[in-house]
Structure 1
Amino acid sequence: MGKVDFSQVEKSNAIQQEVEASFKFIIEGIRILKTKKSAILNNHVELQLFAGGFERLAKILLFLKYKQINSKYPELRDNKNFFSNYDNGHGIKKMIDELVLYSKTIEFMNSIPMVAEDINFLENDHSFNKFMEILSDFSRCQRYYYVDVIAKKENKGTNAFEEFSKLIYSYSDNIDVSKMSYEEEDKHQIDSFIKTIEKGVRAISRFFTHGFGNEGQRYYGDFVEFIFMKDEDLGDNKYLKPKLDPQHDYKPWRTNKLHFLKIKAFAKTKIVKSDEFEDWAFTVDKVKVYNYKNGVYCFVKIGKSIFALNGSAGIVFKIPTYYASENLMPRKYQTELLGIAQKL
């Protein structure tokens, strides 16, 4: 067996962390927005969450795009900023626009109607693009707009908080609200805006499944709630509803379970030993990692039990991660395992 390239493992883990965080930021923003009675109420928290989520998501996709083209992640020297053409990484709309342009060069993204339709949404939907413009302004220079007002510091930019409220109000522009109460109109505006966000997230998620081959598909589990969302599901917000706790409600497989035997027959595997690490997390001397379907689903065998290594494996096959293993030492984790499995 060759030596583990820990620099690549570290980058893979970093990508995993950022993808997971980006979707959680967006989901929490929707959760807060869903509780609003009116768009005129304080929007600071959801704007922070949406900006953080979409900015992270766009940046990671640009990294994956670079790797897809160059077979490696960018190596920045002399303080060169990889995101300098995108307002130093705060130009969220510019980054999304760049991804849309890239999609036009990928036959796989253009030949599948539902994918092409979603990319068209990213490119041409007025409300979603306005939302990305607002988030870009907010990220660049408007996060502390009201602090500047208090300090009487000149801020020549638009007020992103007011623009955000105006965008939500615009969902009443082309409907007859005369028979609605004010509360019903407010609910219509917010619910309609949430559908726009959901459709946008679904469209951006297409880059993981169709834009970057196996590299993007590894992060399937983090956006599964959106990628399978049909138009008629928009607004249901199923991802906001309480779910089972995989760590407590799911059980690991035994090595003789039929599901695992089928996976084992087609998976790439590697034995990972304790002497490869300065800090080993388990009470056993070695574990075995499995890469199934090009890293979309990754598993680890610890003792005689099989655990998930990534979210997609846990969600689809309903097993806990290795954090639930009785062979894991207290306060220990072996974060490198997922990266090792995905590199097989």
Structure 2
Amino acid sequence: MKDVIKDFALLDEIEAATKLIKLGLGELQNINSSNDFYYLPFQLLSSGFERIMKCYICLAYFNVNNKFPEHSYLKGIGHNLLDLLNEINTNYYTTDYRPIIVEDKIFLTQNDELKELINILSEFGKMARYYNLDLITGATKISIDPKKEWEVFENKIMQSNPKLYEKIMDWDLSQEVYYFISNYIIIIFEKYLGALSRQFIFGYLGDKGKQFSSTFFDFGMIYEKDLGKTDYRKITTRYKETPKKVHKRTLLDEIERKTNLNFKSLKIIKSEYVGEWPFYADEVIVECRKKHWCIITIEGYDYALNGSAKGHYKLENPHDAGVAVGGKSIGEFIKIALEL
């Protein structure tokens, strides 16, 4: 009976960890020019990552010793996320002939960007969440400023992608810089979570570990082609409570599109498009009105392609509305619309 209680407690902890992580990734995607509240995703991710790695260690330890570790064992590792990851990599990560598992191991042990991000979250979880209070009260040991360290990491992303500097000066495309940066970081975290999750799913943590594998399917089934394509914002309160300004097209709209000489439109199909397709839907219609306002129609709804249309028609752009993949530019579609 005692073992059953422990199993249920572990399941509850794993489910809590995955929910915290998904919410944290969603809040990271919510960061934009009007929202720089990094502390919420920091809090959610640091807690979620610590919990998921400690659950991993408990199950891996059980697989080797046929019992869960003592409290002193986890306490000895502490709250440092890099120490937890190192414990997993050194003692509890199984590799075999599968290329994806070999790649996972290389990523977990050798990716410097993952280590840098994990370290920032680790310091935040241990001490840095009180950075401002430590500074105000003159604490003898002041932790790192997590927001500043995170911005340093973001600036390195900017420096390695010069086109982002051009976009940030463009009214129509400046918001894409935030999408690109958050997507870049989320891909790193998805690789990390996928690597841990596949150990559960493929049975490397034994029969007991496999019993908990269903909780990890969302991350464990993310492969290269799927990285960065999940919109985690949709489960966050901020996103759900923000009204989405879109327009459902009517018969009159369709008539005007065909008869108004000042409206020029073009259907674009994913399979025929040369370049990176940024939308979840497989076909869209771009439209330019009076050589100025650029609209895009996706599955019967109108969205604003450029800033002029967003201001004039009070419409959401595709990224904010959740119909375009974060990190993928819609700039080429604005160009196509204007050239009509």
2:218 maps to which residue?
Answer: 225
2:112 maps to which residue?
Answer: 126
TM-superposed CA distance for 1:139, in Å, is 1.9
Measure the CA separation in 2 of the matches of 1:38 and 1:112. 42
Summarize the alignment of residues 129-278 of structure 1 with structure 2, pairs less than 5 Å apart: 129-177=115-163, 178-181=165-168, 182-210=174-202, 211-237=204-230, 241=234
Measure the CA separation in 1 of the matches of 2:166 and 2:144. 34
Residue number among 2, 12, 36 corresponding to 1:7 in the alignment? 2
Measure the CA separation in 1 of the matches of 2:96 and 2:91. 11
Measure the CA separation in 1 of the matches of 2:64 and 2:115. 27
2:43 paired with 1:54:
no
2:69 paired with 1:83:
no
Letter of the 2:209 partner, please give it: G
TM-superposed CA distance for 1:240, in Å, is 5.4
2:308 maps to which residue?
Answer: none
Measure the CA separation in 2 of the matches of 1:38 and 1:97. 36
Return the TM-score normalized by structure 1: 0.62
TM-superposed CA distance for 1:59, in Å, is 0.7
Residue number among 59, 62, 72 corresponding to 1:64 in the alignment? 59
String of CA shifts for 1:161-186, please: whole Å, max 9, x gaps. Answer: 22122223322221222432343323
1:302 maps to which residue?
Answer: none
Residue number among 11, 15, 19 corresponding to 1:16 in the alignment? 11
Assess if the C-alpha contact under 8 Å between 1:38 and 1:187 holds in 2. Answer: no
String of CA shifts for 1:278-319, please: whole Å, max 9, x gaps. Answer: xxxxxxxxxxxxxxxxxxxxxxxxxxxxxxxxxxxxxxxxxx
2:90 maps to which residue?
Answer: 101
String of CA shifts for 1:198-218, please: whole Å, max 9, x gaps. Answer: 111111212212421211111
CA separation of 1:190/1:240 partners in 2, compared to 1, >3 Å: closer, same or farther? closer
Assess if the C-alpha contact under 8 Å between 2:14 and 2:215 holds in 1. Answer: yes
1:92 maps to which residue?
Answer: 81
SS at match of 2:73: coil
Letter of the 1:82 partner, please give it: Y
TM-superposed CA distance for 1:69, in Å, is 1.2
Letter of the 1:195 partner, please give it: I
TM-superposed CA distance for 1:34, in Å, is 0.8
String of CA shifts for 1:94-120, please: whole Å, max 9, x gaps. Answer: 11111112356x3xx232111111121
- Structure with higher Rg: it is 2
TM-superposed CA distance for 1:27, in Å, is 0.3
Measure the CA separation in 2 of the matches of 1:156 and 1:75. 32
Letter of the 2:73 partner, please give it: F
CA separation of 1:154/1:103 partners in 2, compared to 1, >3 Å: closer, same or farther? same
Identity, % of aligned positions: 25
Assess if the C-alpha contact under 8 Å between 1:93 and 1:132 holds in 2. Answer: yes
SS at match of 1:144: helix
SS at match of 1:179: helix
Summarize the alignment of residues 268-307 of structure 1 with structure 2, pairs less than 5 Å apart: none
TM-superposed CA distance for 1:17, in Å, is 0.5
2:29 paired with 1:34:
yes
TM-superposed CA distance for 1:39, in Å, is 10
CA separation of 1:240/1:189 partners in 2, compared to 1, >3 Å: closer, same or farther? closer
String of CA shifts for 1:227-269, please: whole Å, max 9, x gaps. Answer: 1112111111156557xxxxxxxxxxxxxxxxxxxxxxxxxxx
Letter of the 1:198 partner, please give it: E
SS at match of 2:160: coil
Letter of the 2:188 partner, please give it: T
TM-superposed CA distance for 1:154, in Å, is 3.2
SS at match of 1:110: coil
1:301 maps to which residue?
Answer: none
1:330 maps to which residue?
Answer: none
CA separation of 1:103/1:69 partners in 2, compared to 1, >3 Å: closer, same or farther? closer
Return the TM-score normalized by structure 2: 0.62
Letter of the 1:142 partner, please give it: A
String of CA shifts for 1:46-74, please: whole Å, max 9, x gaps. Answer: 11100110000111111112111111112
